[in-house]
Chains A and B, each alone.
Chain A
Amino acid sequence: MSRPEEIAPPEIFYNDSESYKYTSSNRVQHIQAKMTLRALELLNLDKNEPHFLLDLGCGSGLSGEILTEEGYNWLGMDIAPSMLASALDREVEGDLFLADLGNGIPFRAGTFDAAISISVIQWLCNADAVGNDPKKRLMRFFNTLYALLRRGGKFVAQFYPMNDLQTKQIMEQAKVAGFAGGIIVDDPDSKRKKKHYLVLTAGQSDRNLNLAGAQMDAPEQRKMSAKMKKKMESRKDYINRKKETMRRRGRVVALDSKFTARKRRPRF
């Protein structure tokens, strides 16, 4: 079977019928959801804080829907009008932009807390138009991505490298743009389930990427300190505790709304 990138440029490959086939497939939905959740796990964002995320190559919003369910606000970009049209039809929550990632991502510095990209960036290694230089496009992509993330912002991208050379090319350009990080391979021994995740940080972060499970020698599980426990409490507990403190100080706090740390629909 040949790879989609070798068949046609993305905006042509993902036409109305392919977009429909892709989006309505249970199998695809399930895999994209699983990889998005894995990307979020690697990002390791603080659940007690709101976050504004960027979904690069958002397609029809399968990855974005997971972001919404996990409580994130997001904005998605894609080059294929048909995919974006399905995203509109499916009433996703994020703003949608029509754009080519290889031409850069047009946001001012420090806009986003983090970014994800699910099954997309291998496309950038392809020269599908005359005069397209993959190296230049990757460079523009990573440079603009680095700038639009807040300092310490993180980027996780699941992708399907064609070969080691591609992986190397991607890593190299990310590094030149200023990112630190590397590649995580899940299920490396299964040809079918094997997945590559590019995990990058833009500057020093006060919360590291979650690389548990990726390290060979995982540190021992230590007993939870009070500080850790505080971190682990649910969002709702956290808001209520904050409100209680304010009440005790005699301040008037907002009534709990039906949306207060509302629980999202569970997946699967």
Chain B
Amino acid sequence: MRTAVPAVPQYIIWRDERKISNRNTPPTTQTQTQIAHKKYNTRNMKFITTNFVKCAVKTCDSSVDAFPLQYSDCQIVQEELEYNPEFIVHMLERLEWNAVVKVARDLGNESLPPVKPEGLDPIMEDDQVILRDLHTLLVETQIVEGKMVCRNCEHIYFIKNSIPNFLLPPHLC
């Protein structure tokens, strides 16, 4: 069964009309304060990854607070990437939607629908709007810099130059 999902794009955290698709023409202005424009086509941490990564500390393994991490001071970019509806549908099933909503809220978006859209078919025209929105949110929205904190042990993980750092200090290994 399909959940009733509004046809208007609800999944976009930041609508950036000038997604970066050409590394040679860095955009000059910003549409919103939170959106940074990238000079290079390097990859960053995709939004979808926030739905999988948890605290690396062993004593947090069984804690329900070790996922999702809490995101703050994040610099976000949007980058145009190949639309692959089959992949979105494939991944949707394993997403924890509550965590999607929670992290989106950390990043400043309060308007995601509370229920996971279901029954989407990558080949059906009717489903393309939602699938494209999900693609923009999950794959094209990326974190370049920021902080992730474990709600259980309060360890801070940093995302720097597009790369999240999960190395642990000796006392946490």
A interface residues (Cβ-Cβ under 8 A, vs B): 49-52, 73, 75, 77, 79, 84, 88-89, 91-100, 103-108, 110-111, 131, 140, 150, 239, 242-243, 246, 251-255, 257, 259
- Closest A residue, CB atoms, query B23: A91
Chain A residues closer than 8 Å to B12, beta-carbon distance: none
Stretch at the interface among B3-11, B27-35, B118-126: B118-126
Give Cα distance in the complex from A8 to B152, angstroms.
Answer: 35
| Per-residue interface assignment for chain B, residues 131 to 173, with 1 indicating a CB less than 8 Å from any chain A CB and 0 otherwise | 0000000000000000000000000000001111111101001
Known: A50-B86, A254-B85. A91 touches B123 (CB 8 A): no
A253 touches which one: B86, B94, B125, B168 (CB < 8 A)? B125
Give Cα distance in the complex from A77 to B173, angstroms.
Answer: 17
B interface residues (Cβ-Cβ under 8 A, vs A): 40-46, 49, 52-56, 58, 67, 82-87, 90-91, 94, 96, 122-126, 128, 161-168, 170, 173
A110–chain B nearest beta-carbon distance, Å: 6
B125 touches A107 (CB 8 A): no
| A-B pairs with beta carbons under 8 Å apart, 5 shown | A49-B86, A88-B43, A97-B166, A100-B167, A257-B83
A103 touches B173 (CB 8 A): yes
A107 touches B54 (CB 8 A): yes
Give Cα distance in the complex from A92 to B43, angstroms.
Answer: 7
B52 touches A108 (CB 8 A): yes
In the complex, given contacts A50-B90, A97-B164, what are 4 additional A-B residue pairs having Cβ atoms less than 8 angstroms apart?
Answer: A52-B87, A97-B166, A106-B166, A110-B94
A254 touches B84 (CB 8 A): no
Give Cα distance in the complex from A88 to B161, angstroms.
Answer: 9
- Closest A residue, CB atoms, query B55: A106
- Closest A residue, CB atoms, query B165: A98
List the 4 closest A-B pairs by CB distance, nearest first.
A106-B56, A99-B166, A252-B125, A111-B52
